[in-house]
Amino acid sequence: MFAQRSMQAEIMDDPALDADQHAAALRGLRRVHALSGTIGRLWRPIERLITTDGLHELSIMDVGCGDGCILRQLWQLAHRRGCNLRLHACDFSPRALEICGQVCEENDIPVSLHQVDVLHQSLPGPVDVVINSLFLHHFSDDDVVPIIKQMAASAGRLMMIEDLSRSRLSYYLVWLGVHVLTRCRVVHIDGPLSVKAAFSNEEMRRILDQADLRSARIQKCWPERLFITWEAPHGWPTEKQTIEPTAHAR
């Protein structure tokens, strides 16, 4: 059952999904992120960057940002450290970006919104840090390599990826977690499907090598997550361009 990836369309990937159900699913995912320690894992390398280089400003882009909950929490943590994070939220879904912009505006957090289809459009950039969470398992092996290459090309300093690890334990942890944390039927169905579509450690290592990111590090983290970090080498050739947002929330 878990020897190889099994990809099945997830409900949240359907553009025709009811707006209320989509919003409920995003709220459920927010609780999942909170329990899984995602924010802490992403924040610690950013905090090291801020501390080591004495930074007062840093740009960060979340690819597949959903409602932007990760960006907002990272902004708040950096703000307490006296560093301004310039946020760039990228997603295929205009509905998710609309929610992201509304919530950021309500919390007085500036964010640039970018509607991007990563399979057919270039990511905006460069930025200092590129992140994504629970994103790559939505794509085929052949698509993941160019997506990772594109994210690395947009990352002037650091790229971080977190995704599920495919295993029997992961499947049961996700099934239990989504049923405890949310009543949302969409999350109940999509969560276990995501595990079946996720990568093993060995598969992810092979993909990173194919993307010419052999220096990237993979860690196995609670709860059955793969956490990938890649630091851009000195003088990494990022394309200098002006980031043009789809919209801007203040």
Residue with tokens 């840090």: 129
For residues 18-29, one letter each, b for 16 or more C-beta atoms within 10 angstroms of the residue's C-beta and e for the rest, the string is eeebbbbbbbbb
CA-to-CA dists, residue 181 to 21, 31, 155, 169, 185, angstroms: 16, 6, 33, 18, 12
Residue with tokens 């009543």: 183
Q: Return d(Cα 25, Cα 43) in angstroms, integer.
A: 24
Q: Is 28's pLDDT higher than 90?
A: no
181-240 per-position pLDDT tens digit:
899 999 999 999 999 999 999 999 999 999 999 999 999 999 999 999 999 987 554 444
49-75 per-position pLDDT tens digit:
999 989 999 999 999 999 999 999 999
The residue count of the chain comes to: 250
Burial of 37 (0-12, 13-18, 19+ CB in 10 A): middle
The tokens of 207 are what? Answer: 């993909």
- φ and ψ at residue 66, rounded to 5 degrees: 60, -130
Q: Return d(Cα 1, Cα 59) in angstroms, integer.
A: 41
Portion of the chain with pLDDT greater than 90, in percent: 82
Q: What is the largest CA-CA distance in the chain?
A: 48
Q: How confident is the model at residue 159 (pLDDT cuts 50, 70, 90)?
A: very high
pTM above 0.85, yes or no: yes
Q: Return d(Cα 79, Cα 141) in angstroms, integer.
A: 37
Whether 125 contacts 238, CB under 8 Å: yes
| Count of alpha carbons within 13 angstroms of residue 81, beta-carbon side | 23
The tokens of 146 are what? Answer: 């160019």
